[in-house]
Homo-oligomer: A and B are copies of this chain.
Amino acid sequence: MTTTIPETGLALHSLVTEDGVLELSLVDVAVPEPKANQVVIRVEAAPINPSDLGLLLAGADLSTATVAGSADRPVVTASIAKSAMRALTARVGTSLPVGNEGAGTVVAAGTSPEAQALLGRTVSVAGGAMYSQFRCVDVALCLVLPEGTPAKVGASAFVNPLTALGMVETMRREGRTALVHTAAASNLGQMLVRLCAEEQVPLVNIVRKPEQEALLRSLGAVHVCDSSSPTFMRDLIAALTETSATLAFDAIGGGTLASQILTCMEVAAAASATGEYSRYGSTTHKRVYIYGGLDRGPTELTRSFGFAWDIGGWLLTPFLQSLEPEKFQRLRSRVADGLESTFASSYTKEVSLSAALQPDAFSVYSLQATGEKFLIAPHH
């Protein structure tokens, strides 16, 4: 270990107490000596993704959130509804580090040649606990960025890029040829627009505001439907008829949008079907994967779309586990090559670990508004 590494570093932790309180705080964590095949990363940039918020916020009622502690060591508390506590049993009383992914500089390395080779390099990692000043991980977890790439460019090299690639790959595996995506103006949505253009996959983008439609059209998106428009259902049917999309990835989860998508897919399928009336709807199989929960309310399905449909959860990790190792490596390399183009991310704000727990930041990113994307810089 070099002398630039302190014995401890700060890390953002989330704790659920037995009496139903969420507590977010900064804790001092020892920086471990790396084992032979490990490296210590000085984390310089870690995004706050929607997929981080489940662990971070534990479904707490954020209208009850208060901040105490000092400016350097703020402590956020909020209460958790009794009904939400059942699903949290396994984490009660355990202070958990947060942050799925991030990037930084390798400042210490174990004795193996593989570990030593990374000294001084910028690497991206999806190792969990990335809202930390220092993180010790196995070499195999590191995605080495091209020389000179700033950590900020590599901060979001896993979750969004691999999710976008996973959507296209899932579509192909299922023998489908086009995609629907909701909350499509997000960082991930913009990435998917670029990726689908490259891959020549027809993509129907669903957004919630006219300005989001304008943004996506400026990126070259062909099919953009605004769910706030009075002509939304008609627009969506037209786009689905044109693209023959029968698979949607939905980041919203709650409300009626998934049901509306299935209904419009069914209308598009019935319109193109020939033959006699079927009392059970079309034979075209329609599917929606829910991969996020921007709306935590219930999903409401009218089932006005026959019987050839399903809706289910989709998660990145099991998808990645289903890939052959070589395929996974190809996807990772593709991301590394495209971090400043296809897979580029943008952030609206950079905050330090302590600033991330202050009300002005906390109240913004916890809302999960499309267009608001925070980056944590743990050493600021």
A interface list, Cβ under 8 A from B: 54-55, 84, 86-87, 89-91, 94, 96, 253-254, 259, 266-267, 270, 276-281, 283, 290-291, 293, 296, 298-304, 306-315, 317-318
Contacts and interface: CB of A to CB of B under 8 A. Distances in A.
A86 B313 CA distance: 29
B87 A304 contact: yes
A196 to B, nearest CB: 23
Contact of A299 (B87, B279, B303): B303
Contact of A303 (B89, B253, B309, B315): B253
Given A279-B55, A293-B303, A300-B299, A90 B270 contact: yes
Contacts of A307: 290-291, 313-315
A310 B308 contact: no
B310 A270 contact: no
29 contacts: A54-B279, A55-B279, A84-B304, A87-B266, A87-B270, A87-B281, A89-B270, A90-B270, A90-B278, A94-B277, A96-B277, A254-B303, A291-B307, A296-B303, A298-B301, A298-B303, A299-B300, A299-B301, A300-B300, A300-B301, A301-B301, A307-B313, A307-B315, A308-B313, A308-B315, A310-B311, A310-B312, A310-B313, A311-B312
A86 B267 contact: yes
Nearest to A84: B304
Nearest to A308: B313
A162 B41 CA distance: 60
A54 B277 contact: no
A268 to B, nearest CB: 12
Nearest to A94: B277
Contacts of A300: 298-301
A314 B308 CA distance: 7
Contacts of A277: 90-91, 94, 96
A279 B55 CA distance: 6
Contact of A308 (B96, B283, B318): B318
A184 to B, nearest CB: 20
B87 A298 contact: no
A266 to B, nearest CB: 8
User: Which 8 residue pairs of A and B lie closest in terms of their CB atoms, listed nearest first?
Assistant: A310-B312, A307-B313, A90-B277, A299-B301, A55-B279, A91-B277, A307-B315, A298-B300
Contacts of A311: 301, 310-312
Given A299-B301, A310-B313, 14 more contacts: A84-B304, A86-B304, A87-B270, A254-B303, A259-B298, A283-B318, A291-B307, A296-B303, A298-B302, A299-B303, A301-B301, A308-B313, A309-B312, A310-B312
